[in-house]
Every structure is written in structure tokens, then in C-alpha cells.
Amino acid sequence: MTTEQLNQYLWVLIIVAVWDLVWKGFALWRAAKNDSQGWFIALLVINTVGLLPILYLYVFGKNTKAGS
């Protein structure tokens, strides 16, 4: 690939990075709040372009503390 081709798709990389950062941030916050150390480490280490954080938030990471 040439530099010109890379520059054309740079905006896609930026959008994907921001997408992943937002979802990962919410999922890490919820995992820390729920004292889910295993999930926190997995979410921090595994990069899935937002898929694992979305699954955690909506399927596995239900609030476990009272009053949440």
C-alpha cells in the first residue's frame, strides 16, 4: 500500500478506535463497579473492536450491587 492509500483510510481507523474506546470505557467502568476482576482484565487485554464490551454491558455485566 502506498502512503496515499493509507491516508484515504485513516479516517476509518480513527472512527474504529474511538468506537472501541467508548465501549471499552463503559464496560471497564461497569466491571470495576461490579468487582468483576476477571472481566476487567479480559476487557482490558482483548481487543475485539467493541464486541466484547457490548456483550459484557448487555448480557453478562448486569449490576450486582444493591442500589445501582
**Among the listed residues 56, 3, 1, 10, the one whose alpha carbon sits nearest the alpha carbon of residue 33:** 56
How confident is the model at residue 1, as a pLDDT? 72
Total-model pTM: 0.77
Q: Alpha-carbon distance 65 to 68, whole Å?
A: 6
* 66 has pLDDT over 70: no
pLDDT digits (tens, 9 = 90+) for 6-49: 888 898 889 999 999 999 999 999 999 999 999 999 999 998 88
All residues at 6 or more sequence positions from 31 whose CB lies less than 8 Å from its CB, including other chains: 39, 40, 43, 56, 61
- The pLDDT assigned to 28 comes to 95
